[in-house]
Amino acid sequence: MNIDRIELRRLQVPLKAPFETSFGRLISRDCILVAVFSEGLAGYAEAVAFHQPFYNEETTGTVWHMLEDFLIPQALGRDLTDPWKVSDWFAGVRRNFMAISSMESALWDLYSKAMGVSLSSALGGTRTEIAVGVSIGIESSIDQVLDNVGHFREQGYQKIKVKIKPGFDIALIAAIRDKFGDGLALMADANSAYTLADLPVLRELDAFGLMMIEQPLAADDLIDHARLQREIATPICLDESIHSSEDVRKAVELGSCKIINIKIGRVGGLAKARAIHDLCAKHTLPVWCGGMLELGVGRAHNIALASLPNFSIAGDTSASNRSFAEDIVTPAVDFCRPGFLAVPTGPGIGYEIEPRALEKFTETKMTFAAR
Ligand code: OSB
Ligand code: MG
């Protein structure tokens, strides 16, 4: 199928409540929606970069630039025959994985709609529903986090992840264990806030039986993560450090982690995410699907990916109402039973765009047509 038109929209969607991590605070979701058109069908995906380069080096602005000036010119007018090979179209582009991923993932949606299959089955998914957890941000007090944990636990979330940073860690985790007990499926995400100099604190965390600690050290430091993993019993899960199957190979060889969080945007698309999933399965490394406070379209892509067999730990793709009062898709991304999201069986991502909500949140829009 020939890609005859591509549309970019920059959206601004307010978050229900501010979301704070060790690297900063978000109050609204500034993101890009990519739409690709062919033969009367439309494929959609979100770019998950934030307005500031605090999670990684990409931003909403750099993603728009990459799409407009490099990726769209490569994709327009091309014949989409095999979505597994789409990332080859962009082989001349270094990094910028979130930008590439948004284009590649939109093409996957388009392709699976054309084939009349769900995105999950196009990817080789095997699950009919996925277990999901929730990621809880840093608050101004431990009590506020405890309230949030209680609230989401009551809703049935299958895993509770709390953001930690130096000075907001041991007492927080101790208070959660104290209030909710050792049975709570609990983990912590540091977003690279620590160094090996913090070893005593990271060792103290071992006492709380966390499922894992996510990305304690720097994004580019597989070596120190390996050192740390030798010193602590809590499994290390890598997020920011893993961009490719090569990164996984090195992390496995060094012993830098025991679990991997896969984010489609961080690794450059669905085909790359699937390859990482397969490689991790080969090394019996469990994986789970990370989240980037996506709108419904991004959540739908995450659900399809998380339906693959080695996604054996509940991911961060919560129901949409965890982050947003209003979303751009219908039906709303919501539990099929407490703590679980159904894997859609309809063609493509299995959710429709709600045009009025889309218009309401659109700040800028640009259309590109094949000549
Ligand atoms: O590190 O997983 C992370 C949000 C923004 C940036 C980084 C991360 C997160 C989350 C949120 O943890 C997960 C979600 O609810 O989508
Ligand atoms: Mg993380």
Question: If you ran DSSP here, which 8-state letter would residue 212 be given?
Answer: -
> Contacts from 62-65 at CB under 8 Å and sequence distance 24+?
62/96, 62/99, 63/32, 63/96, 63/98, 63/99, 63/102, 64/8, 64/10, 64/32
47 Cα to the center of ligand 1, angstroms: 14
Residue 87: predicted pLDDT? 92
**What's the domain range around 98?**
5-116+352-369
Using DSSP bridges, classify how beta strands 160-163 and 134-136 pair: parallel, antiparallel or unpaired.
Answer: parallel
Q: What is the mean pLDDT of the chain?
A: 98
Q: Is residue 43 part of a domain?
A: yes
Region 15-39: what's the mean pLDDT?
Answer: 96
Q: Is residue 347 part of a domain?
A: no
Residues 118/347, Cβ–Cβ less than 8 Å: yes
Question: Which ligand 1 atom sits nearest the alpha carbon of residue 163?
Answer: 12
**Alpha carbon distances (Å) from 185 to 20, 82, 258, 341:** 21, 39, 17, 18
pLDDT above 90: residue 371 = no
Q: State the Cα–Cα distance between residues 57 and 243, nearest whole angstrom.
A: 13
Could you tell me the CATH number of the domain that includes residue 51?
A: 3.30.390.10
Q: Are residues 144 and 89 in the same domain?
A: no
Q: State the Cα–Cα distance between residues 75 and 89, nearest whole angstrom.
A: 7
Q: Are residues 258 and 318 in the same domain?
A: yes
Active site residue 258: no
Nearest to 362 by CA among 59, 31, 25: 31
Question: Which ligand 1 atom sits nearest the alpha carbon of residue 263?
Answer: 2
Could you list the beta-strand ranges (E) of the chain. 5-21, 24-38, 41-47, 129-131, 134-136, 160-163, 186-189, 213-214, 236-238, 259-262, 287-289, 329-330, 340-342, 352-353, 362-369
Which residue's CA is the closest to the ligand 1 atom numbered 7?
A: 292
Active site residue 165: no
Q: Are residues 312 and 170 in the same domain?
A: yes
Q: Are residues 240 and 313 in the same domain?
A: yes
Q: State the Cα–Cα distance between residues 319 and 135, nearest whole angstrom.
A: 11
Question: Which ligand 1 atom sits nearest the alpha carbon of residue 261?
Answer: 2
Q: Is residue 256 part of a domain?
A: yes
Per-residue pLDDT of 107-133, as tens digits, reads: 999 999 999 999 999 999 999 999 999
38 Cα to the center of ligand 1, angstroms: 33
Q: Are residues 219 and 306 in the same domain?
A: yes
From the CA of 159, the nearest ligand is 1
Q: Are residues 194 and 258 in the same domain?
A: yes
Residue 275: predicted pLDDT? 98
55 Cα to the center of ligand 1, angstroms: 9
pLDDT above 90: residue 334 = yes
Residues by chain with Cβ below 5 Å of ion ligand 2:
189, 214, 239
Out of 145, 316, 327, mutate this one to test ligand 1's pocket (max ligand atoms within 8 Å of CB): namely 316
Q: State the Cα–Cα distance between residues 139 and 128, nearest whole angstrom.
A: 35
3-state secondary structure of 20: strand
Q: Are residues 238 and 311 in the same domain?
A: yes
Which residue's CA is the closest to the ligand 1 atom numbered 9?
A: 292
Task: State the pLDDT confidence band at 202, using cuts at 50, 70 and 90.
Answer: very high
Nearest to 97 by CA among 292, 307, 236: 292
Q: Is residue 38 part of a domain?
A: yes
From the CA of 237, the nearest ligand is 2
Q: Are residues 328 and 183 in the same domain?
A: yes
Residues 199/252, Cβ–Cβ less than 8 Å: no
Q: State the Cα–Cα distance between residues 19 and 293, nearest whole angstrom.
A: 9
Q: Are residues 222 and 266 in the same domain?
A: yes
Crossing angle of helices 245-254/270-282, nearest 10°? 20
Q: Are residues 93 and 130 in the same domain?
A: no
Question: Which ligand 1 atom sits nearest the alpha carbon of residue 26?
Answer: 5
Residue located via tokens 């800028």: 364
How far, in whole angstroms, is CA 248 from its chain's centroid? 17
Residue 117: predicted pLDDT? 98
Task: Read off φ and ψ for residue 170, nearest 5 degrees.
Answer: -60, -50
* Catalytic residue from among 159, 161, 165, 263: 263
Residue 210: predicted pLDDT? 98
Lowest mean pLDDT among 12-16, 22-26, 47-51, 110-114: 22-26
305 Cα to the center of ligand 1, angstroms: 17
Q: Are residues 213 and 260 in the same domain?
A: yes
Q: Name residues contacting ligand 1 (CB within 6 A).
A: 21, 55, 135, 189, 191, 239, 290-293, 316, 318
Q: Are residues 140 and 246 in the same domain?
A: yes
161 Cα to the center of ligand 2, angstroms: 9
Q: State the Cα–Cα distance between residues 159 and 178, nearest whole angstrom.
A: 17
Region 86-98: what's the mean pLDDT?
Answer: 96
What count of Cα atoms within 13 Å lies in the side-chain half-sphere of residue 116?
0
Q: Is residue 253 part of a domain?
A: yes
Region 184-199: what's the mean pLDDT?
Answer: 98
316 Cα to the center of ligand 2, angstroms: 9
* Catalytic residue from among 113, 163, 165, 272: 163
Per-residue pLDDT of 204-253, as tens digits, reads: 999 999 999 999 999 999 999 999 999 999 999 999 999 999 999 999 99
State if pTM tops 0.85: yes
Q: Is residue 52 part of a domain?
A: yes
Residue 258: predicted pLDDT? 98
Out of 21, 27, 158, mutate this one to test ligand 1's pocket (max ligand atoms within 8 Å of CB): namely 21
Residues 103/90, Cβ–Cβ less than 8 Å: yes
Could you tell me the CATH number of the domain that includes residue 307?
A: 3.20.20.120
The count of domains in the chain is 2
Residues 305/271, Cβ–Cβ less than 8 Å: no
Neighbours of 73 (CB within 10 A): 12
Which residue's CA is the closest to the ligand 1 atom numbered 6?
A: 292
153 CB-contact burial (10 Å; exposed 0-12 / middle 13-18 / buried 19+): middle
